[in-house]
Structure 1
Amino acid sequence: MQSYILVMEDIEKEFPGVKALQKVSLKLKRGEVHALLGENGAGKSTLLKILAGAYKKDSGQIIVDSQKVEIKNPRHAQELGIAIIYQELSVLPYLNVAENIFLGRLPRRGPYPRWIDWKKCYEESAELLERLGLKIDPRTPASQLKVAEQQVVEIAKALSLNAKIIAMDEPTAPLTPREIDNLFKVIHLLKEQGVSIIYVSHRLSEVKEICDRATVLRDGQNVGTVNVKETEIADWIRMMVGRELDQMFPKVSVPRGPETLRVSNLTTSKLKNISFRAYQGEILGIAGLVGAGRTELARAIFGADPVQQGQILINGKVAVLSNPREAIDKGIGLVPEDRKGQGLVLSMSVKDNITMANMEGLSKFGKLNLSLEKDLASKYVKDLKIATPSIYQETVNLSGGNQQKVVLAKWLCSKCKILIIDEPTRGIDVGAKVEIYELLNELVKNGATVIMISSELPELLGMSDRILVMHEGRITGELSREQFTEENVMLYATGYASHSLN
């Protein structure tokens, strides 16, 4: 037992209608990086929230540093030396960086407890940020930070607690490759200092690089714990999904149909003379580095951002898309990068989220056909295999992969013919990724046009028929499947090469 800093044994947790954890165990060694793997809904987040004191376990035992404990609340977890960095950021935008790092623990000075030692606060914050490779003034308002910088502030906050156990839930999701390298350096440093890390990520290549052991969960149960160096990624996938995944990217070949979308000289505050065509029955990939303008292009086509000049033609006719409602009326759908903030109303039911973009089609003389709405929502839940106890379940209670399916179901229900999908599988487990790809295949087989924006090059190369590459608000290259290589994409994405498009 002495070699383990943490033992979670036979942990059980049940929510209404859902057995989230069934006798789940996790043993974390001192100074190791331990991966926690599993599909969305496997129970990873629930286990972390129990460790953090956010949820109370129904049964089982937790031993921290050889002492059996009942973690009462998040404050108690911190006192035990446990810090959790959640996937959803908790940075407060109206406070500065240092205030966020030492929230509730601002250093004091002088004879009066209310006097804050701002000098010490800023100095210690600067030291923590420097350890993480982030050179920003601790006085900077958090509202001015990029998402990647906010993530680093979250990590700095955990480090400031001098935690013995740090759990990281998808910490690299919003980070650039350089920022990920910095994070890995910090993890190595923490490991050398005897800190233990629980690492949750769907990027299995990262697990292979950074982790020592891995515990796999499936359907709320333990599948096994393995040595990372002695096993392969294919072994973990088999454990996670309970089946072989011979084809990670189940691309289907669909004959290209007529042109459905033409963008000519589109210019916004972030885009410069964008021109391209998209066709029925194809998946058109959009590649580019962070800041290249990919998301801005999607928003401009969808009418969410103002266009300064240029034209958009749908089925050969000029379309004026000054707002998303007009885009939806023209048969365009957008699955945004931030599915929780922009793609869903989390407090609403699965049913209401699925049907919200098709209220007119479900209404007659201004009256909603409740029976038809229920039948349609039930159909898409069944067809898309959305794991939910009921169509009336609040969407916030679904896993990330199932939430993404609900967003897709919304646009299928609206009968859109041009679907723009931004980061289709971000934060989604490997099994659910394949299901999302198969849904995209079904869309193009049924005559839709899919425009897929992704930061995952293997995903773009595996699923696209063509790839447009962006750099600094421009399209710098177009690649056919015969030209697909990561090197070719990066050549155009970095601005080292470009060619005109026909």
Structure 2
Amino acid sequence: MSPALQVNAISKRYGATTALQDVSFELKRGQVCGLLGENGAGKSTLVKSISGVVWPDTGEILLNGESYRPRSIVEGNRRGVSTAFQELSLVPTLSVAVNLFLPHPERNGLGLVLTRKLEQRAAEILEEHGVRDIKPSVLVGDLPLGMRQRIEIVRALQRKPSVLLLDEPTAALSDREWLFGLIDKAVAEETSILYISHKLDEIRRLCSRCVILRNGRKVMDSDVESMSNDEIFTNMAGRSVVETFVSRTPAIRVGLAPRLEVRNLKGPGVEDVSFKLAPGECLGVAGLEGHGQSSLFKALVGLSPVTGGTIAVDGIHVAIRSPREALKHGVALVPEERKSEGIFSDLTTMANISMPVIDGVTRFGLVNRAAERRAVGAVTPSVNLSERFLGYGIGALSGGNQQKAILARALISGAKCLLLFDPTRGVDVGAKQNIYAMMAAFVRDGGSLLFCSTELDELVHLCDRCLVMYRNAIAGDLPREELSQDRLLSIASGFRPQPDVGLAAASQKGA
């Protein structure tokens, strides 16, 4: 029996950049094959080539033994290939129901979408896939990222494909077991799955085989059971890289005014939130999806209205109505969604980074390119972003390098307080280490971090304290010595900590 998918020596170039070079592999029926590689290794280009987003320059792809050269995603879907993309492909201005049936939702004789019928069928599909907390009628743009990720996955699965491509599907999910159950069911129905992830525990849980790309080439194709973690990291990076958290000495500046002090803050999705963030402190924010973390970060930089409470920076009360005002007070946000909120995709990487200081290197309307390069060159080493990427359009960079550019832009702004919302989401282990090092250096130099992560081990190992949010309020404030994944998850699920560890005690202590 022929493989479900066979990729034979495909290559793809973008100008002088080789994204894929002679990549070959096959995917058997009912098999889950992992695809690993650092950011920029060629994984996204391979997924796009199989999905129909781009055409390979050379080589061929066979689907169920037949030539497969889709001219679009729609044609790929029609042939039985469905993809859940990391950078979500949903239309935010349309409802969940319409998105599930794009690009051809059912219409009546007048060409109008049959809304009620569509929503009824969408509700059935959501129920079939274990999604009971999302209404088919709601606009996708009104949903938090994790819910949109689930809709992206359900849309790919409901087409009943013979080949399913899942690109970093758990990057924004709070409940991985939901997805794992759906994958087990799909495999039982002989769906073949290419699973792209940076998380080795997921690869070992789901995949029987693993393909590793490096610099556009396949460097390893082996059974997962026979591969050690060190062997996987070495093949991914061309060097030994282990995902570890380097212990650091606390750098909190005792006796100084709080860098950021929030009292009784209220607004959409924020209920009476209070906390203090000291100079040199990394303060974590944990919580299950939809419990106010995103709303809090947006309120702090003026992206969401504040209806009550106060914000003080370095002991001075401020009114922040926009990210520009926040930056004037030394507060910068690294947002949740880098593609839609963090980058200007039609500009170069250099232009994206230099934006906060562009006025300082401009005279009579002309940018002094040498001064711009010097300013950018002063911060890119902090995030280990290669100088060769500065002249590229930022849209051509991998997700990890885009995130490094966003972090470099925050650093170049001179902000002393960074709000980092899930900064390592969807980046490889090497890029994570670069980001961890940047964070450690920032607080060591007296900066302050408010750090939200969906990966609880990051919060446990990187933070001096951690706030836990539940139902849009702070349910716990845990010191470093009491941080554990189980404790964070317990509080985030609604189990209250003992009174002496809660926010009330911490507030009384600081009063």
The two structures share one fold, judged by TM-score above 0.5: yes
- 8 Å contact from structure 1 (residues 132, 183) kept in 2: no
- 8 Å contact from structure 2 (residues 166, 193) kept in 1: yes
Q: After the TM superposition, which of the residue ranges 379-388 and 270-279 deviates more from structure 2?
A: 379-388
Per the alignment, residue 166 of structure 1 pairs with: 164
- 8 Å contact from structure 2 (residues 241, 429) kept in 1: no
**1:464 to 1:150, Cα distance in 2 relative to 1, 3 A:** closer
Report the secondary structure of 2:276's partner residue.
Answer: strand
Q: TM-score, normalised by structure 1?
A: 0.90
Per the alignment, residue 128 of structure 2 pairs with: 131
Q: After the TM superposition, which of the residue ranges 268-277 and 208-217 deviates more from structure 2?
A: 268-277
User: Partners in 1 of 2:487 and 2:36 — Cα distance?
Assistant: 32
Per the alignment, residue 298 of structure 2 pairs with: 299
Q: CA deviation at 1:127?
A: 4.1
- 8 Å contact from structure 2 (residues 7, 61) kept in 1: yes
Report the secondary structure of 1:4's partner residue.
Answer: coil
- 8 Å contact from structure 1 (residues 134, 149) kept in 2: no
**1:318 to 1:363, Cα distance in 2 relative to 1, 3 A:** farther
- 8 Å contact from structure 2 (residues 172, 425) kept in 1: no
Per the alignment, residue 415 of structure 2 pairs with: 416
User: Partners in 2 of 1:122 and 1:477 — Cα distance?
Assistant: 39
User: Partners in 2 of 1:330 and 1:469 — Cα distance?
Assistant: 26
- 8 Å contact from structure 1 (residues 128, 159) kept in 2: no
Per the alignment, residue 213 of structure 2 pairs with: 217
Does residue 200 (structure 1) correspond to residue 196 (structure 2)? The answer is yes
Report the secondary structure of 1:237's partner residue.
Answer: helix
- 8 Å contact from structure 1 (residues 148, 176) kept in 2: yes
Q: CA deviation at 1:148?
A: 3.8
Does residue 425 (structure 1) correspond to residue 424 (structure 2)? The answer is yes
Per the alignment, residue 243 of structure 1 pairs with: 239
Unaligned runs of 5+ in 1: none
Report the secondary structure of 1:194's partner residue.
Answer: coil
Q: After the TM superposition, which of the residue ranges 167-176 and 40-49 deviates more from structure 2?
A: 167-176
Letter matched to residue 453 of structure 1: C
Report the secondary structure of 1:496's partner residue.
Answer: coil
Unaligned runs of 5+ in 2: none
User: Partners in 1 of 2:475 and 2:94 — Cα distance?
Assistant: 39
**Aligned Cα RMSD in Å?**
2.7
Residues 425-456 of structure 1: per-residue CA shift (max 9 Å, x gap): 01111111111111111212222111211111
Per the alignment, residue 464 of structure 2 pairs with: 465
Per the alignment, residue 313 of structure 1 pairs with: 312
Letter matched to residue 422 of structure 1: F
Partner residue of 1:151 out of 149, 152, 160: 149
User: Partners in 2 of 1:473 and 1:138 — Cα distance?
Assistant: 24
Q: CA deviation at 1:246?
A: 4.3
User: Partners in 2 of 1:247 and 1:116 — Cα distance?
Assistant: 49
- Taking only the aligned residue pairs, the percentage that are identical comes to 35
Per the alignment, residue 83 of structure 2 pairs with: 84
Letter matched to residue 182 of structure 2: V
Task: List aligned pairs for 1:415-494, cutoff 5 A.
Answer: 415-494=414-493
Residues 482-501 of structure 1: per-residue CA shift (max 9 Å, x gap): 21211222233233224221
Report the secondary structure of 2:379's partner residue.
Answer: helix
- 8 Å contact from structure 2 (residues 172, 454) kept in 1: no
**1:197 to 1:263, Cα distance in 2 relative to 1, 3 A:** same
**1:102 to 1:424, Cα distance in 2 relative to 1, 3 A:** closer
- 8 Å contact from structure 2 (residues 291, 471) kept in 1: yes
Letter matched to residue 175 of structure 1: L
User: Partners in 2 of 1:173 and 1:101 — Cα distance?
Assistant: 20
Q: After the TM superposition, which of the residue ranges 151-160 and 193-202 deviates more from structure 2?
A: 151-160
Does residue 227 (structure 1) correspond to residue 219 (structure 2)? The answer is no
**1:269 to 1:152, Cα distance in 2 relative to 1, 3 A:** closer
User: Partners in 2 of 1:95 and 1:312 — Cα distance?
Assistant: 35
Q: After the TM superposition, which of the residue ranges 490-499 and 81-90 deviates more from structure 2?
A: 490-499
Per the alignment, residue 11 of structure 1 pairs with: 10
Q: CA deviation at 1:9?
A: 2.1
Per the alignment, residue 345 of structure 2 pairs with: 346
Letter matched to residue 196 of structure 2: V
Letter matched to residue 278 of structure 2: Y
Letter matched to residue 25 of structure 1: S
Letter matched to residue 306 of structure 1: P
User: Partners in 2 of 1:138 and 1:293 — Cα distance?
Assistant: 22
Q: After the TM superposition, which of the residue ranges 60-69 and 325-334 deviates more from structure 2?
A: 60-69
Q: CA deviation at 1:232?
A: 4.1
User: Partners in 2 of 1:24 and 1:163 — Cα distance?
Assistant: 23
Q: CA deviation at 1:143?
A: 4.9
- 8 Å contact from structure 2 (residues 2, 65) kept in 1: no
User: Partners in 2 of 1:163 and 1:183 — Cα distance?
Assistant: 16
Residues 181-218 of structure 1: per-residue CA shift (max 9 Å, x gap): 23222211211111101111223222222222111111
- 8 Å contact from structure 1 (residues 21, 43) kept in 2: yes
Does residue 406 (structure 1) correspond to residue 402 (structure 2)? The answer is no
- 8 Å contact from structure 2 (residues 22, 59) kept in 1: yes
Letter matched to residue 301 of structure 1: L
Report the secondary structure of 1:273's partner residue.
Answer: strand
- 8 Å contact from structure 1 (residues 378, 391) kept in 2: no
Per the alignment, residue 358 of structure 2 pairs with: 359
Task: List aligned pairs for 1:368-383, cutoff 5 A.
Answer: 368-383=367-382
Task: List aligned pairs for 1:114-129, cutoff 5 A.
Answer: 125-129=122-126
Residues 218-265 of structure 1: per-residue CA shift (max 9 Å, x gap): 111112122223434444223222223345222422432133222223
Per the alignment, residue 65 of structure 2 pairs with: 66
Per the alignment, residue 326 of structure 1 pairs with: 325
Residues 309-358 of structure 1: per-residue CA shift (max 9 Å, x gap): 33322222223323322221111111011122222211111111111122
Letter matched to residue 215 of structure 1: V
- 8 Å contact from structure 1 (residues 251, 441) kept in 2: no
User: Partners in 2 of 1:326 and 1:105 — Cα distance?
Assistant: 44
Q: CA deviation at 1:10?
A: 1.8
**1:145 to 1:317, Cα distance in 2 relative to 1, 3 A:** closer
- 8 Å contact from structure 2 (residues 212, 220) kept in 1: yes
User: Partners in 1 of 2:112 and 2:320 — Cα distance?
Assistant: 55
Q: CA deviation at 1:382?
A: 4.7
User: Partners in 2 of 1:73 and 1:300 — Cα distance?
Assistant: 40
Q: After the TM superposition, which of the residue ranges 469-478 and 139-148 deviates more from structure 2?
A: 139-148
For this pair of structures, how many residues does the alignment match?
Answer: 497
Letter matched to residue 304 of structure 2: D
Letter matched to residue 9 of structure 1: N
Report the secondary structure of 1:359's partner residue.
Answer: helix
Q: After the TM superposition, which of the residue ranges 57-66 and 302-311 deviates more from structure 2?
A: 302-311
Letter matched to residue 248 of structure 1: T
Q: CA deviation at 1:70?
A: 3.5
Q: CA deviation at 1:40?
A: 1.1
User: Partners in 2 of 1:108 and 1:326 — Cα distance?
Assistant: 47
User: Partners in 2 of 1:311 and 1:417 — Cα distance?
Assistant: 19
**1:152 to 1:290, Cα distance in 2 relative to 1, 3 A:** closer
Q: CA deviation at 1:164?
A: 0.9
Does residue 255 (structure 1) correspond to residue 251 (structure 2)? The answer is yes
Q: After the TM superposition, which of the residue ranges 483-492 and 185-194 deviates more from structure 2?
A: 483-492
User: Partners in 2 of 1:67 and 1:287 — Cα distance?
Assistant: 48
